[in-house]
Each structure stands twice: as structure tokens, then as C-alpha cells.
Chain A
């Protein structure tokens, strides 16, 4: 019943917020297009036979010399920019989404356990969280990447690139989840219903997941949304710095790094279209996050 009221209220607020609706629309369109890239993209940018040098450096269709086959123009190899961007966004979103999911499970798990069991375990987890909070995410991710390069042999490291980047991002984002989960355990643990559940001899795992976790679904959703945006930015930054994904499987950040070479030339689309795409995607996800935050914190409204 309560959930129903909240839902309808959320929907009502959502309908009244044009920014949130527009952001949701853009985010949904981009994410859907990225996921469906193999089916809707005009060409496959990984398939060397699908493009040729003759089509190199064509501008977008609306500009003089544009070719209707390539809506957003082509790069120096004759690759269709639209296809590259869709495939790149797919990769970026996959990494960011996975990293966010890993961070969520890890953070919520550690946070719930730390809050529930307290004591030394709590102290250790929270000390690590404090240190990590002082270290900015980019530094953590760079360090993890650097260490993995040192430990793994070169070929293996290149094969595991995707996993390493995902893990590096996930490990730099788990803290927010952990702190939120832990704080809510402290609030809920002393309440009667949790005490009753403990008295009935329910398993701690069941108490944490069934009784305590539902209380923080709202805040978790907000953090997950905002962190998804951070994860996309992190991946793009790492790839831009050249320590992310290699150039043969370009994400949005890699595309921008390649496009930087065209900054001084007239071929503006190679740099600016992926950049605008990335910024629009992140802005819309952040706008959604802001809307959700206001929704779950009525005091700020």
C-alpha cells in the first residue's frame, strides 16, 4: 500500500519535472541504441572488410561533401562514425554497468556486515573506506591498473584489459554504498522488528537482506545512478589517458583520444561528435540522479 502511494507520488513528480523527463528519455534512447548496436548500427567498425580508405574523412551528411551512407561522417580509415560511437557507447556502458554492479554488491555486502557485526571487522572495513575516500577514484583506478600491469605478464594483461578496468573502477566506487548500508543498519538494528527477528532466531543473513536492506533501496538507487555516471566518466578518462581500453576496441574515451589528433584540423566531427555524445549521456544520467535524490529526500524539496 505504502509502496503504491510512493510510486504514484513519484510518477506525479516525474510528470511535473520536464528536466527529469527529458533526461530519462535521452538516457533510455542512448542506452537502448548502444545495447542494440550490433543490430541497428549501419556497419560493424570491428570488421575490417566493412569499410575502405576511399571513404576516409567524409564530413557528416548535413555538411558539403557528406555522403548519405555515413550520417555522422567517417574517420581517417573510412569507418562510419555513427557505428563507432554506438559500439563505443556499448562498450563504455557495459564496463560502467558491470563496475557499478560489482561496487554495489561489494559495498552493500561489506557495509551491511560491518554494521551488523560491528567490532573489529567494522573498524577495519571503515578504516579502509576512509582511506579510499581520501584517495580520488582516478588515482585508485590508475594505481590498480599499474599494479596489475606489474603482476600480470604483458599478453595476459592485454587479454584481461576489460576485467582489469572494470575491477579498477568498481574498487574505487564501493565506499559510498558501504557507508549508506552501514548507516542504515545502525538505525534499524535497535528497532523492535529487527530485535524481534533476532529473538526469533532468524539467520543474520536473512535479517540483513529481508529486513534491513529494503530500507535503503531508495538511497541505493540514487547512489547507483550517480555512480553509473561516475563510472562512465572514469572509464572515459582512463581510456583517454591511454591506460584504458586499447585502440582496436574503442570506447567513447578512446574515440575522443583518437579525435584529439584532429583538434587542429578541419575534421571537427571525429573529435566533437563522440565528445558531445559522452557529455549528453552523462548529463542526462546525472539529472536523473538529482531527480531521484530529491524524491527520496523530501526535506530538500
Chain B
């Protein structure tokens, strides 16, 4: 088991190195940092001196090592656009995105898992059929249209909720949270729903497929043959086997949440990392783009690692296999 964990850790380090390399190539090959940082009035000698000072004349591998070292120390460099340190910029935006993503994920799981189980157990029911049609329409409606619809309905027509921005924030250390005030929650509802609804359809479809698969396996048939009550078969035997892949789903959904948070944040002008990334693309702010990439990859790797460890905890079969 320790070997397994160690192996996964080493793999994760390699993935991060590969992403850092990609980010660094972006950084060094796309656009010339000197011409981005200096104006027309900077003399050629000054430019050359700056180039030397920044170490841009060093061999590629030395520059990459320095880049990686800087990243590890949390030194992410400066934005071309705002001249601010990128680390501080991202840290400032991080809580908004994390809170939005978490709320969306919780919405998708709380509604998606029961819906998936229900549709798997009653495949021919009217409710199931209409839920399935709803998910098909759900995946066909782009996230930004869902956002516009919700804004129109709850913001404009009913006037219940704010339609953009993030208000009612409370600062806890550097973490600016909107979870502690009514205002904060009110501004979180619409973006959270927008981001959550798309994930919900995915969760539901996956849980449904998994549950249907489990219901066809031998041990469930055997349980039926033994005359074990339906209730017990469904919610003890089948459900526990369905839940294992659902953990993977959470891991997989993280990528989707991050990507669609870019869209959601744009629709609601939610001041998170996605909006920052979008701005950095519009202004060709390469350092911010590449750091964003590294940070996202880091989250991704950590979550996948946690998912693997959770598997070990939950599924006894894996522990036995690893021990053997």
C-alpha cells in the first residue's frame, strides 16, 4: 500500500513537471517578454542589460530550472498587463472560484445521485422518462444560456436575486468569503445553480448507468434468488457498489467545474480565477495564462491523488490486491 501511494506520488510529480514545462515553453516562446515589458523609448543597451539581468540569455534548461524553482517557492512572476505579482492576483481570486465551484459540485451531487438512482431503478416510469429527456435538453443548452435564463427569471422578472458581481463578502485573514452573509449567499445562488445544473446532468447519467450495470451483476441476481427483500438489495447491495465510481466522477467533474466556471464567471461578472484567465487571454497576458495553467494542473493532480487514496479506503478488494 505504501508502495502504491509512493508510485502515485512520483507519477504526480512527473505530471506537474510536464505541465510546468508546457507553461514555461508558453512563457518563453510566445511573445518576447522584453518587448512586452519595455516601451519604445527604452534604448537597445538597456534592453540587452534587462535581458541579461532577467537571465534570458541563459541556456534553456537553466531557465527552466529557475522557473520551476520560482514556482515552488510561490514566486510566480509579474503580469504583463497590471504589473502586479501574479501570485497575489490569483490568491485574491481563488476564494471566489473555490466557493462557486464547491457550491456547484454540492448541488450536482445532492440532486444528481438520487435522480440517477431513481431513474436506474424505475427505467420505464413516467418521471424517469421525463427526467432523461430533461437531461438531454440540459446538455444541449450551453452554460451561458442557462445563466442568461436564470438572470432573466430570478433577477429581472422576479427581482429576487442580484444578477451580477459578488457582494456581502467577509474577510477571514486573506480569504474573502461570501458564505457568511445573506447578501453573499444571495449573490452566490444564481452562478452556483448555473454551474451546478450542467454537472448535475452528467452526475445523474453516470450514476444511472453504473447502477443499471450493478443491478445486472451476478451477486445481485443471486441476492434476488435468495429472496432478500428488494429494499435491502437495492440500497445495501447495489448502492454500495454504485458509489465507488461516483467518487471518480467527482474527480473528473473538477475539470468541468473549472472550465465552465470561466463561462459562468463571465456571465455573472463573478470575480474569480476564470474571469482573470479570460482577461489574460484577451490581453495576451502570457505569464498569467501559464501560471493559471500550472495552478489548475496542481489542483487536478491533488484531487486525483485523493481520489485514488479514497478508493483504497473504500474498496477492500483493492487493498487485498495491493497487499498480495
Contact = CB atoms under 8 A, between A and B. Distances in A.
B148 A138 contact: no
Contact of A142 (B140, B141, B277): B277
Given A263-B152, A287-B136, A138 B263 contact: yes
Contacts of A260: 148
B172 interface: no
Interface in A114-149: 134-139, 142-143, 145-147, 149
Interface residues of A, number: 35
Contacts of A237: 142-144, 263
A97 B260 CA distance: 23
B145 A275 contact: yes
Contacts of A229: 140
Contacts of B145: 256, 275, 278-279
Given A135-B255, A139-B258, A142-B262, A147 B26 contact: yes
Interface in B264-285: 266, 277-278, 280-282, 284
A199 interface: no
B224 interface: no
B34 interface: no
Contact of A146 (B144, B152, B263, B284): B284
A243 interface: yes
A143 B278 CA distance: 10
Nearest to B142: A233
A242 B282 contact: yes
B55 interface: no
A102 to B, nearest CB: 21
B259 A139 contact: yes
Contact residues of A: prevailing secondary structure: helix
A224 interface: no
B137 interface: yes
A240 B265 CA distance: 13
B26 A136 contact: no
A279 B151 contact: no
B125 interface: no
B284 A256 contact: no
- Of the four ranges (under 10, 10 to 19, 20 to 34, 35 or more), the interface on chain B belongs to 35 or more
Contacts of B300: 134
Contact of A136 (B30, B142, B255): B255
Contacts of B256: 136
A146 B281 contact: yes
B31 interface: yes
B148 A271 contact: yes
Contacts of B30: 147, 150-151
A233 B266 CA distance: 16
Q: Which of B144, B255, B286 has the most CB of A within 10 A?
A: B144
B266 A241 contact: yes
Interface string A147-165: 1011100000000000000
Interface in A286-301: 286-287, 290
Given A143-B293, A286-B136, A287-B136, A134 B255 contact: yes
B200 interface: no
A264 interface: yes
Contacts of B117: none
A256 B144 contact: yes
A287 B152 CA distance: 27
Contacts of B260: 136, 138
B144 to A, nearest CB: 5
B156 interface: yes
B121 interface: no
B319 to A, nearest CB: 26
A142 B255 contact: no
Interface of A: 134-139, 142-143, 145-147, 149-151, 229, 233, 236-237, 240-243, 256, 260, 263-264, 271, 275, 278-279, 282-283, 286-287, 290
15 contacts: A134-B252, A136-B260, A139-B296, A145-B281, A146-B280, A146-B281, A147-B30, A149-B281, A240-B263, A241-B262, A263-B148, A263-B156, A283-B136, A283-B141, A287-B136
Interface of B: 26, 30-31, 136-137, 139-145, 148, 151-152, 156, 252, 255-256, 258-260, 262-263, 266, 277-278, 280-282, 284, 286, 289, 293, 296, 300
6 closest Cβ pairs, A-B complex: A136-B259, A150-B30, A146-B281, A283-B140, A282-B140, A139-B259
Given A147-B26, A279-B145, 15 more contacts: A135-B255, A136-B256, A138-B260, A142-B262, A143-B293, A149-B281, A150-B284, A151-B30, A236-B144, A237-B263, A242-B282, A243-B282, A279-B137, A279-B140, A282-B141
